[in-house]
Amino acid sequence: MRVVFFGTPEFAVPSLLALVGEGFDVAAVVTQPDKPQGRSRSTLVSSPVKTAAVAESLPVLQPERPKDLAFIAELKRLQPDVGVVVAYGHILTPEVLAVPRLGMVNVHPSLLPELRGAAPIEWAILNGLTKTGVTIMQMEAGLDSGPILHQIPHSLRDDVTGGELSEHLAEIGAQALIETLAMMASDGPKPVPQHHDRATYAPKLTRETGHIVWDRDASTLRRVVQALDPKPGAWTTLDGLEVKLFGAAPAAGRGAPGEVLRAGRELVVATGSGALAIAEVQPSGKPRMSALDWIRGRGVRAGQRMV
């Protein structure tokens, strides 16, 4: 089966490598253009998918806009049987979706129609779900609304972070993708329409998503810290300076929301209901460190207030 692969971040790499490992004919890898980084913005950095594709000697396409006629013509020249899309980062037009003979499939990290949208991994944790998973969907013009080809569920640990869950679902997604393409090669599976009335959404994360509002309960705030670990990180401020928080766990103690209750052998902060122990922090302009190192460096003391 001849495949064109669309993907950009680390989450997409296991699916690409699974295609190569299973002997699929990957005609081209489509990823976003290299991004300028550094103070002068003069250093171009490749996406994780491009790095993996180059290592496997696969052709790479990096259109600025995948709806351009020249790019669509190049896709048609490749004559793919199927397109695979994994966190590519652009909405594909009907003209692009129609190029492969068998259409395009998407690896989506939720059990659709639950958590349609940009950030299903983080919102699974933020919403306190006990189960999520991966869906292989036949793509259409709507937002994650196409018919379902295959699903694999995954149970969530109570303490799982966004980074850990992303790694788990990336591997499960690669497995589900290979299973789906194998079925497609033998005239299956039959697409199952989604129940659109049951759809929930996982909107793009904003800066405010990660802001710790201390008058909320400890369980809710713990999920915010977990969901955004390692990036972009949940944050609060102390004496007007931003600090990111990692490794939150329930703790004993009562006080005004945001009050630092203990800053000795552990860092404990009061919430609207209960308290949180914080294992690691990242003060503004500094690397991530243990909360104990921050305390020893006199970064925080009992009685201070985080907001």
User: Domain 2-198 in CATH: superfamily?
Assistant: Formyl transferase, N-terminal domain (3.40.50.170)
**SS3 state of residue 213:** coil
Q: Quote the pLDDT of residue 151.
A: 98
**SS3 state of residue 60:** strand
Between the CA of residue 5 and those of 57, 118, 178, what are the distances in Å?
Answer: 14, 19, 13
Check if the beta carbon of residue 72 is closer than 8 Å to that of residue 61: no
Residue spans in the chain of domains classed CATH 3.40.50.170? 2-198
How many Cα atoms occupy the beta-carbon half-sphere of 285 within 13 Å?
A: 1
Where the chain has pLDDT below 70, the residues are none
User: Distance (Å, rounded) from C-alpha 278 to C-alpha 117?
Assistant: 30
User: Distance (Å, rounded) from C-alpha 276 to C-alpha 248?
Assistant: 6
Q: Quote the pLDDT of residue 188.
A: 79
Q: Quote the pLDDT of residue 15.
A: 98
Q: Tell whether domain 207-296 is in CATH 1.20.1740.10.
A: no
Residue spans in the chain of domains classed CATH 3.10.25.10? 207-296
pTM listed for this prediction:
0.96
Given CA atoms 147, 2, 166, 63 in this order, what sign does their dihedral have? negative
CA angle, 85 as apex, 83 and 89 as ends, to 5°?
135
User: Distance (Å, rounded) from C-alpha 58 to C-alpha 168?
Assistant: 25
Q: Quote the pLDDT of residue 266.
A: 94
Q: Quote the pLDDT of residue 38.
A: 77
